[in-house]
Amino acid sequence: MKIVINNIPLDKEIILELMDAGQLAAIKYVRAQTNLDLKESKTIVENLMANPEYYDGKAHTIAVVSPDMAKNIETLEKQSSNGMLYSKPNQVKKYVLIIIAICLVAALYLVLNR
């Protein structure tokens, strides 16, 4: 029987046979086939050890956070209360100050030319 992890088909019979030889061999096989890290591969094997029918033929997705995603999550945490995302808050402050300065110069020009 095939199981699908992250759109990668795996032969469940091979995994079960490798588990008879040892859990480590099964983890290495899952890890090599799916490119998941050790923790996720171990979780898959442990799920199959506890219940060989755990993966029921449906496609399963294992969420993995890569280092690049961690940086994106940090950026998303800088969201304001109105839902706008400011990835570079210093630039926003700079532009606001420039707009205020332009308005002040324009107002001063209008006052002096009356």
> Under DSSP, is residue 82 helix (H, G, I), strand (E, B) or coil?
coil
Please tell me the least confidently modeled range out of 19-28, 41-50, 53-62. Answer: 53-62
How many Cα neighbours within 13 Å face the side chain of 62? 23
14 neighbors 23 (Cβ within 8 angstroms): no
Report the length, in residues, of the chain: 114
Which one, of 29, 25, 24, lies nearest residue 10 by Cα?
Answer: 29
Looking at residue 98, its pLDDT comes to 93
Q: Residue 62's pLDDT band (boundaries 50, 70, 90)?
A: low
Mean pLDDT for all residues in the chain? 77
- Span 4-36, pLDDT tens digits: 777 788 888 888 888 888 889 999 998 898 888
Looking at residue 49, its pLDDT comes to 86
